[in-house]
Structure 1
Amino acid sequence: MSWDSGYIGPVTEERARYLIIGNPDNRRVTGFVDALDRRGLPPPILLSHRELMRDVSALAALPDEPLTVRIDACGEDPEIERTLLELGADALDADLRCERISRTELARTPYRFGQIRAPRQHHAGFVRYLDTLASVLRARPSWRVLTPIADIRALFDKRETSRRYAALGIPVPEPLPGLTQIEEPEQLREAMVAQRWPAVFVKLSSGSSASCLALYRHLPGRPPAQRDLLLTTVATAENGRFNSLRLQRLHEREPVDALLRWLIGEGVQIERAVPKARIDRWCFDLRVLVVAGAPAFCVVRQSRHPITNLHLGGQRGDLDGLRRRMSSAAWDAAMRSCERVFAAHGCLHVGVDVLLEPGLERHRVIEANAFGDLLPRLTREGKSVYEWEIEAAARTASVE
């Protein structure tokens, strides 16, 4: 397989109007609307998550006539965050050991920028909202939904996608055996020792953008002060936990265990921390955007530490330079895995995160993303990411 196999070819005329469900002022939505305009397509219908979470009637009022439906991310809006917590307040099982916030407490608690509140409850609210959207979409067979609700749900469940991809033979980091029985940090350490894993990633199962992510290293043979290291995006303060753009390093057992215990209670995927390849002392991985079945865009994400997300201080690396270092067979194998991840879902596009192991011959799919196409300033054949997707949607519509 060559990198250019994603060429879309001539676009068949497709004039079905777009319906975008998103945050209208967010750069994701404004960027996509601009791309529609550049492709000469009519202005889309815009419906906001904020409105639909409160009342879905604006969506239900639209007739069952041909529309291309793009559902975009609903983050970066404090009112939406609060609403999702409200929706999730009554949706959690009573026996779950996780943080909870009542509607009353939400009403009287001021929003603090970046604060992490009850992630499991937040996700329960998100799922409840998705189910509401799904009930309307099922009654609109003329609408073409580019990212189906079932796939959004699956892609926000790291345990589910890890199992699904492994069953398909796609290489992924090994999940910790007996994960569902882990309730305490000491049980985690015992399992790591039994597996002879010096380090694991502890990921919020429903998280995105590295929120609530921790890399935990446990070396029992070391002196106590060197035995534990937790590298995390969670900063703990007197007034709560916050997403931090500066990674936190915890060494002392008490704060390490406090954060691990909280993460485990919120529902996590725990997997072996597979070493990442380095180039010039930079750790790196790949974000590969697969569109209509073919890898279309790729970004090298590099950092001085193993957590490479660009908003956490990572940088875009030299893709051409990486390709020169890799064998064609190794590159093609990684891209085939991305294609297989795409085929496991029913979306127009999927963002796939790929780890290359030292030596650049082996790879692992770290995770996949329903909303992984925010890749500003990237172009291919003179088209932005969103323009490429619009043309792919038109082409594939003509053969459906």
Structure 2
Amino acid sequence: MTVRFAVVGTPGDRRVTLFRDAVVARGLPEPYVVPWRDVLAGHELGAPAGALVRIDSPGEDAGADELLRGPGDPARVGGGAAWYRSFTAGLGRIAAIPGVRLLGDVDEIAVMFDKRRCHAVLAAAGVPVPEAFEAVSYEQLRAEMARRGWARVFVKPAHGSSASGVIAFQAHAGRIRAVTSAVPIDGVLCNSLRPRTVTEEAQARRLVDFLAPDGLHVERWFPKAATGGRAFDLRVVTVAGRPTHAVVRTSRAPMTNLHLGGARGDLDVVRGRAGLWERVLEVSARAAACFPRSLSTGVDVMVGSDWRSVAVAEVNAFGDLLPGLGDFSGHGRDTYAEQVEAVLTAWT
């Protein structure tokens, strides 16, 4: 019997195209595409009987974004709680497609898209993570920072992705400094590729209180190692629970996301440190083990300024978009080809 794949995504999206290429390269039929718009609009869903269904990101689609959190500029910040309710309802509809097998567990995906729940799951499993608390207002943020004696934190919307609305916040000696990708454009807070720095407390208060109703996850600042004057972390992709690909992300700003001006660094800088690379791989595998029914995860691993300690910042359900990157084993497979290989040979 011929193996048949299907993918829930946006037709023409780069992720869908790369996965399609990996499937076709194995001599298999092109994956059947279930559009996220159909999922979110409540249309009847179907896929070939027995298909192996990959769930991909609903991002990069203005129509899907409108169905997820209502009309507005797709680049706007906020609306995460509404987005999450619509998204998880969509996951439920995907799980109900008859006669197919999912390559990503919808309950695990839902946990990964709630930073508070994901952090709790990782911590309970003994995975090293920064200390954290939840906040519902700027006042609570400042009060809890003072109570804990923390001067620097990352304030993250509970359901955001791609650093949307994230604030690198510090308060010391009566002064504050907040670096964020949320920039006002025509009166609307939107994600910008050029993060701004806020030093006026009234502006920081407005920003935090605007985001707070959707839920805030606040993490203690983890001092990162630096190379060439740029702090860095790693995105480690796991497939079938095993780390297979990694990229070093470097930046002079607090956020290392490549789309915010971060740059790919030299992975050998990490691999060449005795014991460090092994710790990165071990922690990534332990994080992936918290989501055993998910074929792939993207684990964001921070290396401490001591070049020994490591901590997991996030686990991403759709964190495998690393085009042009080969696997550790030297087979030359990208993240998508690695997943197809795992499904066809080993993963259950």
Q: Which amino acid aligns with 1:350?
A: T
| Distance in 2 of aligned mates of 1:20 and 1:195 | 45
CA contact (8 A) 2:39 2:93 kept: no
**Residue aligning to 1:322:** 270
Q: 1:332 to 1:25 in 2, by over 3 A?
A: same
**Residue aligning to 1:94:** none
Alignment partner of 1:239 out of 187, 208, 211: 187
**Residue aligning to 1:358:** 305
**Residue aligning to 2:279:** 333
Aligned-pair CA distance for 1:85: 2.0
- Residue 194 of structure 2 is aligned to residue 194 of structure 1: no
CA contact (8 A) 2:59 2:65 kept: yes
Q: 1:242 to 1:327 in 2, by over 3 A?
A: same
**Residue aligning to 2:177:** 229
SS in structure 1 at match of 2:122: helix
CA contact (8 A) 1:353 1:366 kept: yes
Aligned-pair CA distance for 1:56: 3.4
Structure 1 stretches lacking a partner, 5+ long? 1-13, 87-105
**Residue aligning to 2:162:** 209
Alignment partner of 1:80 out of 64, 77, 86: 64
| Distance in 1 of aligned mates of 2:332 and 2:228 | 31
CA contact (8 A) 2:170 2:176 kept: yes
**Residue aligning to 1:101:** none
Q: Which has the higher contact order (CA 8 A, sep 6+)?
A: 1
What's the CA shift string for 1:281-335, capped at 9, x where partnerless? 11000000011121100100000122100000000000012221x222x321221
Alignment partner of 1:390 out of 337, 340, 345: 340
Aligned-pair CA distance for 1:57: 1.2
SS in structure 2 at match of 1:188: helix
Considering only aligned residues, what root-mean-square deviation do their CA atoms show, in Å?
1.6
- Residue 325 of structure 2 is aligned to residue 378 of structure 1: yes
CA contact (8 A) 1:200 1:216 kept: yes
Aligned-pair CA distance for 1:187: 2.4
**Residue aligning to 2:5:** 18
| Distance in 2 of aligned mates of 1:321 and 1:118 | 39
Aligned-pair CA distance for 1:119: 2.3
Q: 1:52 to 1:187 in 2, by over 3 A?
A: closer
Aligned-pair CA distance for 1:183: 3.1
Aligned-pair CA distance for 1:113: 5.2
SS in structure 1 at match of 2:346: helix
Alignment partner of 1:36 out of 23, 27, 39: 23
Q: Which amino acid aligns with 2:160?
A: G
CA contact (8 A) 2:6 2:33 kept: yes
1:176-187 paired onto structure 2 within 5 Å: 176=133, 179=134, 182-187=135-140
- Residue 266 of structure 2 is aligned to residue 279 of structure 1: no
Aligned-pair CA distance for 1:396: 2.1
TM-score (normalised: structure 2)? 0.94
| Distance in 2 of aligned mates of 1:183 and 1:203 | 12
CA contact (8 A) 2:136 2:215 kept: no
| Distance in 2 of aligned mates of 1:343 and 1:166 | 13
Structure 2 stretches lacking a partner, 5+ long? none
| Distance in 2 of aligned mates of 1:321 and 1:117 | 37
Aligned-pair CA distance for 1:117: 4.8
SS in structure 2 at match of 1:379: coil
Aligned-pair CA distance for 1:55: 3.4
| Distance in 2 of aligned mates of 1:375 and 1:184 | 36
| Distance in 2 of aligned mates of 1:370 and 1:69 | 14
**Residue aligning to 1:98:** none
Q: Which amino acid aligns with 1:276?
A: K
CA contact (8 A) 1:276 1:306 kept: no
Higher percent of residues as helix: 1
